[in-house]
Homo-oligomer: A and B are copies of this chain.
Amino acid sequence: MTKPNYALGLDYGTNSVRALIVDVKNGREVGTAIHAYETGEAGIVLDPSDPNLARQNPADYVKGIEVSVKQALAQARRHDKKFDPANIIGIGIDTTGSTPLPVDREGVPLAMKKDFRNNPNAMAWLWKDHTGHAEAAEITALAAKEHPEYLAKCGGTYSSEWFFSKILHCLRSDPQVFQAAWSWVECCDYVPAVLTGTTKPEQIKRSRCAAGHKAMFNEAWGGLPSREFLAKLSPKLGALRARLYDKTYPSDVPAGKLTAFWARKLGLKAGIPVAVGAFDAHLGAVGSGVDKGKFVKIIGTSTCDVCVWPSNENLPDVPGLCGIVDGSVLPGYLGLEAGQSAVGDIFNWFVNEIQPGGPVKGSHEALTRKAAKLKPGQSGLLALDWNNGNRTILVDQRLTGLLLGQTLHTRPEEIYRALIEATAFGALTIIKRFEEYGVRIEEVINCGGIAEKNPLVMQIYADVTGKEMKIARSAQTCALGSAMAGAVVAGKEGGGHAGFAEAQQAMSGVRKKTYKPVPADHKVYGELYKLYRQLHDAFGTKEWAGSLYNVMKDLLNLRDRQLRGE
């Protein structure tokens, strides 16, 4: 019997980082640990006067490596006396995104420098930071006019959650930080650079996935948007382009080798390969077994939908998608990404902020139990799932939640169920958009905490979409996907795998338990979806007479004015 080989996956989520050690032969997870970021509220730096702001301290990312990996190794040792860290053959990393951070000439995050300590603008701009919404609109408008091709692959609208919206907003709102930043680095590029000692901006192997989905990078037009284009937004942004990057890489390419410093610190073998980073959802899709016809939903605080399409087969641009990027998920395939800006976050908001009745009355469990007894449509309620804007298909952060149909008899569990249903209708809207443009969806594989732990949510998703819902075998598919990347960069000769297809075959799968649509409920949801779509189009689009498109925007503008005291 040969000694088992392991790969290490690091998964940087919104509130914490997880380390996972996996047997590359069969996907067995032998050790895992989570470290919660220490700065801010649940790891997020907020601004009470600006609900759009969400930042993170990059020092939390670095500390998280050590704490989570050491604990995961300890757990592996506890469970298997023969476990040997020297058998870890490669490392992969996924993170949230677009989460760019400004760095100096040496690649040191500005937030780690004395001059900028405690300045949120010098920190990492977390994916859900929406301070750049005006800049996003500006970028969209300019691209629509001068380079429609830039938008065609990212759904037709450049989002406030993305790379250039954030950087341009920093340039406008905190020129000192912008000026001090030699370059800007995605979190998923920063962590591999730290581990491989390649933090100088020009050394960093940038992620194809981050660049393609969030920074309009495409080899067809020579990489990032042109200097001229960026300069029209601001001459300084144009000048920054040369200090960004021209090349990008998928995660089957090594970013470098683990430095002696980090090997010693973590107790791993120096020189093992570290894969180029990618976004959590993309490696999560890999860890869930994404493939042609297999649609992966990563359901957490928000939802990411990922599928792939052979690069050599024709696919039209799909309006409203977050992105279509060659090689962003699997080499040789277009990676297609869509998503919902808030899913679990909406349920958490209702349970923790609005209905905090404690474990007996107002917990997720109690509400789920009662909500499960309701029939579709029985409450008379209908909600829109836009409490954090709409990522797909409207690509509009300046949208807000809506609850309709409440009477004096409406109960909390009815609202809870209506919120679940709203996210299911949002999910269906995305699936329909894919299918309308010819992307066949033969299998839906769900992963993430909610997919695993809330059968009611999965059943409602099945009933609403009319599709069977499967659940990925691993409870931590993002970290598993990262570990797979680690196994792939180790290569066959290094004890790993020849490519992602082989790694998926060996290391991923789905569970026995699936959720099948109940025909009668699917029918009722068909009626409700028509009404959802009516509200969706009324508040989310401006195409027709009598549109209510202005309402949410006017309210947000008034809110912002009042908060600023104007």
| Residues on A facing B (Cβ under 8 Å) | 51, 342, 345-346, 349, 353-357, 361, 375-382, 387-388, 400-412, 415, 524, 527-528, 531, 534-535, 538, 544-548, 550-552, 554-556, 558-559, 561-563
The 7 lowest CB-CB distance pairs between A and B, nearest first, are A546-B546, A380-B559, A401-B406, A377-B558, A378-B562, A400-B405, A545-B545
Q: Which residue of B lies closest to A379 (CB)?
A: B559
Contact present for A555 and B524 (CB under 8 Å): no
List, in ascending order, chain B residues with CB within 8 A of A562's CB. Answer: 375-378, 524
Contact present for A527 and B558 (CB under 8 Å): yes
List 5 interface pairs A-B (beta carbons < 8 Å), by A numbering: A400-B405, A401-B403, A401-B405, A402-B404, A534-B550
> In angstroms, how far is the closest chain B Cβ from the Cβ of A59?
26
Task: Evaluate whether A538 and B534 lie within 8 angstroms (CB atoms) in the complex, with A361-B356, A401-B405, A562-B378 already known.
Answer: no
Option from B357, B375, B379, B408 in Cβ contact (under 8 Å) with A388: B408
Contact present for B377 and A408 (CB under 8 Å): no
List, in ascending order, chain B residues with CB within 8 A of A377's CB. Answer: 555, 558-559, 561-562
Contact present for A405 and B349 (CB under 8 Å): no
> In angstroms, how far is the closest chain B Cβ from the Cβ of A149?
33
Task: Evaluate whether A545 and B544 lie within 8 angstroms (CB atoms) in the complex, with A400-B405, A404-B555, A562-B524 already known.
Answer: yes
Contact present for A408 and B346 (CB under 8 Å): yes
> In angstroms, how far is the closest chain B Cβ from the Cβ of A380?
4
Contact present for A381 and B551 (CB under 8 Å): no
Task: Evaluate whether A380 and B538 lie within 8 angstroms (CB atoms) in the complex, with A375-B562, A547-B546 already known.
Answer: no
**SS class, residues of chain A in contact with chain B:** mixed
A528 CA to B546 CA, complexed, in Å: 18
A51 CA to B538 CA, complexed, in Å: 29
> In angstroms, how far is the closest chain B Cβ from the Cβ of A14?
12
Contact present for A400 and B409 (CB under 8 Å): no
Q: Which residue of B lies closest to A415 (CB)?
A: B354
9 new A-B pairs (CB below 8 Å) besides A349-B408, A544-B545?
Answer: A349-B410, A353-B412, A376-B562, A377-B555, A380-B555, A380-B556, A388-B407, A531-B550, A531-B551
A535 CA to B355 CA, complexed, in Å: 26
A534 CA to B550 CA, complexed, in Å: 10
Option from B388, B407, B412, B547 in Cβ contact (under 8 Å) with A387: B407
Q: Which residue of B lies closest to A388 (CB)?
A: B408
Contact present for B412 and A354 (CB under 8 Å): yes
Contact present for A411 and B353 (CB under 8 Å): yes
A538 CA to B565 CA, complexed, in Å: 31
Contact present for A524 and B558 (CB under 8 Å): yes
A354 CA to B346 CA, complexed, in Å: 16
List, in ascending order, chain B residues with CB within 8 A of A411's CB. Answer: 353
List, in ascending order, chain B residues with CB within 8 A of A544's CB. Answer: 545-546
Task: Evaluate whether A554 and B538 lie within 8 angstroms (CB atoms) in the complex, with A408-B388, A546-B547 already known.
Answer: no
List, in ascending order, chain B residues with CB within 8 A of A559's CB. Answer: 377-380, 405
List, in ascending order, chain B residues with CB within 8 A of A376's CB. Answer: 562
> In angstroms, how far is the closest chain B Cβ from the Cβ of A399?
10
> In angstroms, how far is the closest chain B Cβ from the Cβ of A47?
11
A554 CA to B533 CA, complexed, in Å: 13
A228 CA to B409 CA, complexed, in Å: 39
List, in ascending order, chain B residues with CB within 8 A of A410's CB. Answer: 349, 353-354, 387, 401
Contact present for A555 and B382 (CB under 8 Å): yes
Task: Evaluate whether A554 and B535 lie within 8 angstroms (CB atoms) in the complex, with A349-B410, A545-B544, A546-B547 already known.
Answer: no
